[in-house]
Structure formats: C-alpha cells, structure tokens
C-alpha cells in the first residue's frame, strides 16, 4: 500500500450496478495502463485509493480492486465466483473432504469473444489452473514474464453483451464476489423484486456473516480507511440490500464516509405496470433509508424522471446511445462517476469523503444531484475561457439524477471537476493589447478560470472546484458512442473528421445540492400517496408493512422540504 493513500472500499450491489461498475473498473484499469509517452502527467489520481496489492499462493504479485460485489444466481456468465487470479485457502479447505463426493455441474457459459481475446493478451492459464498475470504498467504488478506482442483488442458488440461480466477486463480478488443464491437473475420466478426482500437478505445469518467477513478482510489491511462508496441498484430489491448494508457500515465504522450512488437504468416502459410500480416503491424506500444511513446519496440515471410519468432520456450533443441498453447507459454513468469522485481520489490535497459530504449535505440535505458534460466541448483552436463564455448562462452540464430540466432551480452547494484539457488551453491566448471578451480571459490560471466561471453562474453558492489534466479513458470495451466530429482526444474538430477512434475525452462533472430535489422528491411522494396498495399486495408481502409505507411517505416529504429554494444560503 502506498504511504499516505486514503483507502476506499467499494460495495457494488445489483446487476445494473454491475454494468456501471464494470465500466468504472475498466476505466480505472485503462488509466493504470498508461503508455510511457502519455501527455498527461502521472500522479494526479492515486490508484491505491481504490486498489489493493496482494500475492497469490505462488508468490505472484497482484493489484486488484478493493471491492465487494453482490449479485444473483446466474449473473456471472463465464466469470468464476472466486475470480481467476489465485485460489483462496478457505475455498480450498471447503473441498478438503476425502470421502465420497457427488458433483453437480451447472451449464458452462461460453466466454465472450472479447474476454477470450483479453486472456490471450494479458496472461496465460497454466496446466495447474493458476493464472499468470502479465505486468501492469506504471509500476504496478510483477515484471513481465513474456515478450509476446499484445494483439489489437476485439471491440465487444452490443449483441454479445448479456451480463456485465461479459466485458469486465479487470481481475477480481476471490473475496470480491458474493452470490445471492436464493434469487435468480434470469426468468420470471425467484426474482429479487421488492425492497423488503432485499432487506431480509442481510437479516439472514448466512449472508450477513459473509458480508461482515469480507468487510473485515479488506478493512483490516487498510492504513487509513476514509470510507465506503456503494454502487446500488435503486429500482429493484437491491435497494433494500443497499439500505441494510449502509446501516451496517454506519453502525460498525462510525466516522467513516459512506457515499451511495443509487443507480437506475433507462426510462420506464409503459407496457410494464408492475415493474413501474415496484420501481417507484423501491426508489422511494431506497432513497429514504439510504439517506438515513449514508453521508451522501446521489441518484444516477439517464432517465428524465424518478416518478411514474415517463420522460425522455437525457441528450448529449456528441454522443449517440441507446437508453434501453445497460451496456451504453452504464458506460456514460461510469464516466460521470469517474469524474465526480475525483476529489477523494487525488494524490495531492485530496478532499476526504467526509469533508465532501459535509460541504454538500448541510441542513439535512443528504441527497444530491449529479450532472456531466460528456465530452466537454472544447475546439482545439479555442481556450477554456472561450468555451465557457460560449456556454452562456445555462447550466453547463447535462442532469444525471432523473430530476428533469434544471432551469429555474437554484443550487445550495456544489463540487465541480473539469478534467482532460491540455494546460496550454487553460487560459486565454489572446495577443497582448487585444480587448478581453470577458473577465474569464483575464485569469492567469485554469483553476482561477473555472472558479470565477462558477462564481459568475451562482454568485452565492458554496463551491469547490478541481481542474485536472488527466482525461477519462474510453478505450474498448467502452462502447463507441461518439460522433465523427470528435478527435482522438475527444476535442470538437473544426475541420473534417479524421477517422481516428476516440480514446480519451475531457469531462466536466458536478455534484449539486439543488432545489430541483424539492420538486423531484415531492412528486415521488405524490405518486406514492396515490397508489392503491391493495393491488400490489405482493410488495407488502415481501416484508414491508403499512406503517413502513406511511413512515417512508412522511420522510420523503420532509426530505423534499429541505430543498425549498427559500431555505438556502442565497437568501
């Protein structure tokens, strides 16, 4: 462990969380595998915050995510629950019985062609069934053991992606994956559909003990654990799993930050009334319970609404994506997540999870919204002041918390990150003596430009901002969503397309405590109050009582009132 790193343990709960998480870890992996001639300087982000070093039983050094992942039976496809790096001694001990054995083998899923290519590119599986890993650039991992040339990777097609493990290119520790065998990922029967079902999972001794053992394993090896980030499905029964997990963390690790990202897939489908009602109920119960036990909760979705009234998915001028594909939605949300989490992953002067939450969640405002500009629309011939001036007074980022149009709303506090712009374009390049188009053009550093722009946009808002040179990596298996008007570095071309694939992009991301949540949470409460629960008795049968519903409704209304625009720093 690098000295001084402030470790974060990630909990990834649910299948859509798996899609977002797989893209997130792939992007971390791509950043680790930085070529030696890369333009961006090393050391802006500390990978040890998210990763841990270890050794296999054969002495091979490993570098794996500090991750606990929970999903349902049938969700792993060809991925082994114990991972592929090395065997766990406890797992071996479990099969040490020397008596008569009866073996039951499940159907083996064929490995996705993309992952077959990955295996040949990054290591070999020896006859002893032990994975020999090639070195990780940037000083992580052991010396290379082979000189084979890395082949050009296969880009996974949307049709080949069935589950998140079909495109995960990161090797996991044996203690990472925890399968919930009592519920099925596929089929209509045995599904984890309701909040109460999820809560009950971590009330069972088997699953609670398994989670606690994994928490202790990772936490005890940390030098300075700053907290936990939870990526949690909000629309299904995993909202209940997440709520109980957050409660456990709050009880056992008091004083540590707990930031929860409540994930929702694309917009509602009108022809699925039961799924839509369950989604509404799970979202409402999840937000209330998660906000009670987390330092901060942020819904993340490309949909336009958390309630029952369907709204079109959000639009990005330079992206073409299919909102019905988790593979696409997960990639965009992971890119936003990779940007807004920058403050507590910095090498130099990091903002701890606790301090970030304290800045945003004053006066009971535990829920925040996220937004991002993907990619940030810089033209190579322009400077950052030029681009920000062209954005005008409108909100500069696309909302990503299903809170609708932010026009007319106010912000109480915000944390903003802009990354991926070359230092040469941070400030104005006008010839001396040229009249300045705006006060931004008089700033002498990029940090000053960004801070002054945010001050102009929201004069009385508590703001924190960070400017990084490091871009977001979008190499395969990231889906190709980009318009032909972008360069290889994600800049907006002012000439004809070059035909080069986009490999990295600049991104502007923000977390905001916003008055838009007054309307969003209020509308969610109104939709909840209109439900005739006699028609949805199955949701109540899963362990939720009428009193729980009334309490959730009241808590949701109280939470919404925290975001009334009159109750702000602006008055």
Residue 115 lies in a domain: no
Indicate if 353 and 479 belong to the same structural domain: no
Indicate if 525 and 447 belong to the same structural domain: no
Last residue of a domain, one of 474, 495, 516: 516
The pLDDT value recorded for residue 87 is 56
Last residue of a domain, one of 343, 361, 379: 361
Residue 217 lies in a domain: yes
Indicate if 328 and 212 belong to the same structural domain: yes
DSSP-assigned beta bridge partners for residue 178 = 70
The pLDDT value recorded for residue 88 is 47
| Lookup result for tokens 């299903």 | 402
Indicate if 480 and 342 belong to the same structural domain: no
Indicate if 446 and 343 belong to the same structural domain: no
Residue 136 lies in a domain: no
Residue 29 lies in a domain: yes
Parent domain of 557: 519-568
The pLDDT value recorded for residue 56 is 82
The pLDDT value recorded for residue 489 is 95
CA 533 to chain centre: 33
Indicate if 469 and 423 belong to the same structural domain: yes
Residue 463 lies in a domain: yes
Q: What are the tokens at 60?
A: 């091979």
Last residue of a domain, one of 361, 392, 414: 361
The pLDDT value recorded for residue 58 is 81
Per-residue DSSP letters for 16-43? HHHHHHHHHHHHHHHHHT--TT-SSPTT
58: Cα within 13 Å, side-chain hemisphere: 12
Indicate if 17 and 73 belong to the same structural domain: yes
Indicate if 325 and 395 belong to the same structural domain: no
Indicate if 559 and 429 belong to the same structural domain: no
Indicate if 183 and 287 belong to the same structural domain: yes
Indicate if 484 and 438 belong to the same structural domain: yes
The pLDDT value recorded for residue 541 is 79
The pLDDT value recorded for residue 474 is 97
Indicate which CATH number applies to the domain containing 324.
3.40.50.1440
Residue 351 lies in a domain: yes
In angstroms, the CA 411 to CA 389 distance is 20
Q: Average pLDDT of each block of 10 consecutive residues along the chain (571 residues)?
A: 75 97 97 62 87 88 96 83 59 49 53 58 44 45 36 68 94 94 79 93 96 97 97 97 98 96 85 86 96 97 89 94 95 98 95 96 91 96 95 90 87 96 94 90 96 92 95 96 95 87 97 95 94 80 84 95 67 35
Burial (CB < 10 A; 0-12, 13-18, 19+), residue 315, is: exposed
Tell me the whole-structure pTM to 2 decimals.
Answer: 0.90
Residue 350 lies in a domain: yes
Structural domain tally of the chain? 3
The answer to whether 401 and 370 are in contact (CB under 8 A) is yes
In angstroms, the CA 487 to CA 502 distance is 6
Which ranges in 110-162 belong to alpha helices (H)?
113-122
The pLDDT value recorded for residue 2 is 42
Indicate if 492 and 535 belong to the same structural domain: no
The answer to whether 343 and 415 are in contact (CB under 8 A) is yes
Residue 292 lies in a domain: yes
The pLDDT value recorded for residue 98 is 55
């Amino acid at each position: 462990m690098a000295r001084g790193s402030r470790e974060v343990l990630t909990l990834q709960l649910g299948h859509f969380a798996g899609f977002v998480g797989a893209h997130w870890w792939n992007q971390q992996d791509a950043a680790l595998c930085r070529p030696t001639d890369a333009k961006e300087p090393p050391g802006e982000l500390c990978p040890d915050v998210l990763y841990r070093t270890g050794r296999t039983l054969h002495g091979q050094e490993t570098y794996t995510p500090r991750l606990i992942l929970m999903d349902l039976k049938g969700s792993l496809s060809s991925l082994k629950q114990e991972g592929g790096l090395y065997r766990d001694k406890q797992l071996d001990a479990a099969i040490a019985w020397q008596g008569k054995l009866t073996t039951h083998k499940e159907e083996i899923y064929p490995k996705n062609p993309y992952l077959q290519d990955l295996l040949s590119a990054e290591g070999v599986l020896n006859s002893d069934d032990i994975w020999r890993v090639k070195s990780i650039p940037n000083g992580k991992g052991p010396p290379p053991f082979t000189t084979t040339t890395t082949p050009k990777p296969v880009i996974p097609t949307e049709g080949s992606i069935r589950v998140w493990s079909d495109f995960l290119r990161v090797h996991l520790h044996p203690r990472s994956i925890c399968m919930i065998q009592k519920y099925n990922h596929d089929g209509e029967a045995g599904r984890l559909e309701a909040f109460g079902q999820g809560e009950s999972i971590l009330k069972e001794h088997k699953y609670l003990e398994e989670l606690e053992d994994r928490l202790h394993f990772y936490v005890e090896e940390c030098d300075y654990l700053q907290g936990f980030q939870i990526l949690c499905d909000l629309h299904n029964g995993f909202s209940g799993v997440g709520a109980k997990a957050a409660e456990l963390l709050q009880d056992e690790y008091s004083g540590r930050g707990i930031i929860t990202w409540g994930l929702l897939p694309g917009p509602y489908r009108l022809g699925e009334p039961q799924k839509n009602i369950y989604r509404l109920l799970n979202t409402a119960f999840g937000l209330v319970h998660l906000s009670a036990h987390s330092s901060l909760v942020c819904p993340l979705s490309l949909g336009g609404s958390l309630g029952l009234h369907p709204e079109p998915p959000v639009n990005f001028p330079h992206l073409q994506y299919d909102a019905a594909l988790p593979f696409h939605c997960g990639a965009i949300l992971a890119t936003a997540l990779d940007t807004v989490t920058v403050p507590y992953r910095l090498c130099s002067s990091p903002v701890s999870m606790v301090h970030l939450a304290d800045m945003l969640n004053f006066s009971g405002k535990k829920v925040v919204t996220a937004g991002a500009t993907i990619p940030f629309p810089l033209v190579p011939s322009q400077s950052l002041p030029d681009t920000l001036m062209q954005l005008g007074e409108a909100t500069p980022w696309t909302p990503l918390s299903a809170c609708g149009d932010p026009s007319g709303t106010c912000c109480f506090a915000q944390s903003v990150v802009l990354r991926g712009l070359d230092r040469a374009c941070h400030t104005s390049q006008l010839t001396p003596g040229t009249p300045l188009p705006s006060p931004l053009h008089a700033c002498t550093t990029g940090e000053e430009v960004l801070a002054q722009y945010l001050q102009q946009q929201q004069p009385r808002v508590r703001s924190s901002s960070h400017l990084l040179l490091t871009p977001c990596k979008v190499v395969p298996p990231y889906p190709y969503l980009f318009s032909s008007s972008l360069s290889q570095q994600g800049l907006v071309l002012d000439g004809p397309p070059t035909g080069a694939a986009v490999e990295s992009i600049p991104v502007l991301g923000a977390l905001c405590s916003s008055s838009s949540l007054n309307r969003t949470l209020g509308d969610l409460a109104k939709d909840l109050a209109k439900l005739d629960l006699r028609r949805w008795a199955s949701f109540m049968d899963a362990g939720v009582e009428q009193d729980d519903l009334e309490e959730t409704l009241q808590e949701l209304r109280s939470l919404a009132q925290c975001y009334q625009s009159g109750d702000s720093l602006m008055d």
